[in-house]
Amino acid sequence: MGDTDANTDADSKISDSQTDASQPRHFLEIDDLSHEELLTVLVRAAEFKRAQQEGTAHEALSGQTLGMIFQKPSTRTRVSFETGMTQLGGHAVFLGEDDIQLGRGEPLKDTSRTLSRYVDAVMARVFRHENIEVLAEHSSVPIINGLTDDAHPCQTLADLLTIREEMGGFENVSVAWVGDGNNVGQSFVIGAAMTDMDVTVATPPGYSMDDAVIDRARELGGDPTVTHDPVEAVTDADIIYTDVWISMGQEDERDVRMDAFEGFQVCSDLLAHAPDASVMHCLPAHRGEEITDEAIESDQSIVFDQAENRLHAQKALLHWLLE
């Protein structure tokens, strides 16, 4: 009897181990990666970028397919993921909401279970963060957050890769987020905390980042400064980062927001307080609103390096998840 119980316990442990090992790794938030994993992905992204510049192919994902669900329109997310899969030897399938049964009322969990039988990973660009969590809960393949209303971790990977290139690393780097405390900013602040950068967040009253996000950044070792003064934020900063004031779905708030964000534009007057800072924007930009033409076209701008790095960072992420 004792031997039988021992064998049963051993079999149970083996079964549990196999179940844990079979669970896919999802990428819903930037801190779904550990500090070490984040640095691994960034180093791999730099290697992929260097290899592409040298004309070296890395078809490590040959025969694998990425399903791409889009509830929101996209330029950089769609093209970088599709191109990245192609360059890695795989294939990407565009799945617009109205092109699949999701647009006709199929539950997300049914879509997730079905796609898991067809593809090797799913990238989804959706509105509600709860939707990406439902996809992950019911998927047997990795789910990648291509953007939700709460987070944009793929953008943060590209942002960190860009800063690493520009500054030679993250040590003693000071960054300022200026504008709306939106999804892009929230993911970036957490990513900055994970890489030990000094962060100041300047938003108008009523448009701050979620307190839970600031708390998470502090739990990860960061110490974000929160202010309503954009000049205070950018003074002596190495990096100044902004994004649109009016995101998709907020168009009816336009007049109110334009008044609230007066003084937060990244322009020559603001940049005079940080003449050596590099300027970042995740794009698309509403030129003349959150940033001027002069700023985005200036020698301080690294906006298009940042846009290019979406490709390399996402290739590294795909490779890390699927290799």
Residue type, 135: L
142 is in an annotated binding site: no
Q: Distance between CA atoms of 49 and 56, rounded to whole angstroms?
A: 10
* 145 labelled binding-site residue: no
Under DSSP, is residue 32 helix (H, G, I), strand (E, B) or coil?
Answer: helix
Please tell me whether 85 is known to bind a ligand: no
Asked about 25 being catalytic, the answer comes back as no
* 152 marked as part of a ligand binding site: yes
- The answer to whether 107 is a known ligand-binding residue is no
Question: Active site residue: 243, 257, 300, 306, which one?
Answer: 243
Q: What b/e string do you get for 94-123 counting C-beta neighbours within 10 Å, with b at 16 or more? A: ebeeeebebeeeeebeebbeebbeebbbbb
Is residue 75 marked as binding?
yes
Enumerate the β-bridge partners of residue 201. Answer: 177, 226
153 is in an annotated binding site: yes
> What does the chain come to in residues?
323
310 is in an annotated binding site: yes
The answer to whether residue 113 is catalytic is no
Residue 155 annotated among the catalytic residues of the structure: yes
Asked if 267 is an active-site residue, the reply is no
- Residue 71 annotated as binding site: no
Q: In Å, how far are 26, 266, 302 from 124, measured between CA atoms? A: 12, 31, 27
Tell me the C-alpha distance between 234 and 273, whole Å.
7
Q: How far is CA 163 from CA 61, 277, 279, 309, in A?
A: 27, 11, 10, 10
On whether 76 is known to bind a ligand per the annotation, the reply is yes
247 labelled as ligand-binding? yes
- 197 among the known binding-site residues? no
The one catalytic residue in 138, 310, 312, 319 is 310
Which of 169, 191, 159, 190 shows the shortest CA–CA distance to 306? 159
Catalytic residue among 78, 125, 257, 312: 125
The residue annotated as part of the active site, out of 87, 155, 265, 306, is: 155
Q: Is 154 annotated as a binding residue?
A: yes
Phi-psi region of 172 (alpha: psi -120 to 50; beta: other; left: phi over 0): left
Instruction: Evaluate whether 187 touches 30 at the Cβ level (below 8 Å).
Output: yes
Residue of 152, 257, 281, 319 marked active site: 152
* Residue 248 is assigned to a ligand binding site: yes
Joined together, the tokens standing for residue 155 give: 């953008």
Q: Residue 223's CB: how many other CB atoms inside 10 A?
A: 11
Choose the catalytic residue: 87, 164, 265, 282.
282
Q: Which residue, among 135, 96, 101, 139, has the nearest Cα to 120 in the 3D structure?
A: 139
243 classed as catalytic: yes
Tell me: is residue 77 an annotated ligand-binding position. Answer: yes
Q: Can you say whether the dihedral through the CA atoms of 229, 231, 235, 240 is positive or negative?
A: positive
> Residue ranges for the binding site for carbamoyl phosphate?
74-77, 101, 125, 152-155, 282-283, 310
**Which are the catalytic amino acids?**
125, 152, 155, 243, 282, 310
> Residue ranges for the binding site?
74-77, 101, 125, 152-155, 183, 243, 247-248, 282-283, 310
> Residue ranges for the binding site for L-ornithine?
183, 243, 247-248
